Amino acid sequence: MVTPPDVTAADLASFRPAAPSLTGEPAGFGIVGAPANVVAAASEQVMSGTLLGWDVTVQFVPAGFVFDYGDGSTARSTTGGASWESLGQAQFTPTATSHVYRERGTYPVSVTVQYAAYVDFGSGTWRPVTGYVTATSGGYDVRVVEARTALVDRTCAENPAGPGC
């Protein structure tokens, strides 16, 4: 009986999981000094093909999310995060995947998902693959602005001619 080969992440070069999705709250914006919530999504994927001369089914399972916030800061999470609403949190409160920007500007945000991979050479037994296979999102910019407030006697609805109205 011939034993299927051991497989590393590098051997899976022809099998590419889909890029994760990436969004944020508030959508595309942040406020200097306040948490901007960044949320990524990636799912388990299964694909078939030929690997090292063998018919194989490959399974990719998201194992880690590495967020690059575009300002030199990165963070790793075991999940892609969640919206403030789904967490039952108010806007601009910290989450496991939020980030606080210190300066105004536009920052290119991305996430790289580290997928754990498993292979099945037709026996019905999934074998773990050494290393991670990665997929990266792109194209999500966060524009960070300053918020200035002032104390006023009444709201603009109450006094449309008031300061700042």
Residue 163 placed within a domain: no
Q: pLDDT per residue over 32-61, tens digit each?
A: 999 999 999 999 999 999 998 999 999 999
Number of domains comprising the chain: 1
Residue range(s) defining the domain that contains residue 116: 9-145
Q: What DSSP line would sit under 73-135, residue for residue? A: -EEEESS----HHHHT--TT---TTEEE--S-EEEEEEEEEEEEEEEE-SSS--EEEEEEEEE
Q: State the pLDDT at residue 138.
A: 81
Q: What percent of the chain has pLDDT over 70?
A: 96
CATH of the domain at 74: 2.60.40.10
Dihedral in degrees, nearest 10, Cα atoms 13, 14, 19, 20? -70
Q: pLDDT per residue over 124-163, tens digit each?
A: 999 999 999 999 998 799 999 998 776 677 777 788 887 7
Q: State the pLDDT at residue 77.
A: 97
Residue 156 placed within a domain: no
Residue 76 placed within a domain: yes
Residue 155 placed within a domain: no
Q: Quote the Cα angle for 91-161-159, to 5°.
A: 60
Q: What percent of the chain has pLDDT over 90?
A: 82
Q: State the pLDDT at residue 157.
A: 78
Residue 89 placed within a domain: yes
Residue 80 placed within a domain: yes
CB 24 within 8 Å of CB 31 = no
Residue 133 placed within a domain: yes
Q: Which of 50, 42, 40, 109 is closest to 74 using CA atoms?
A: 109
Residue 152 placed within a domain: no
Query: What six digits make up the tokens of 79?
Result: 């999940």
- Mean pLDDT of the 105-130 span: 96
Question: What's the chain's average pLDDT?
Answer: 93
How many Cβ atoms are within 10 Å of 23's Cβ, its own excluded? 17
Q: Is 40 helix (H, G, I), strand (E, B) or coil?
A: strand
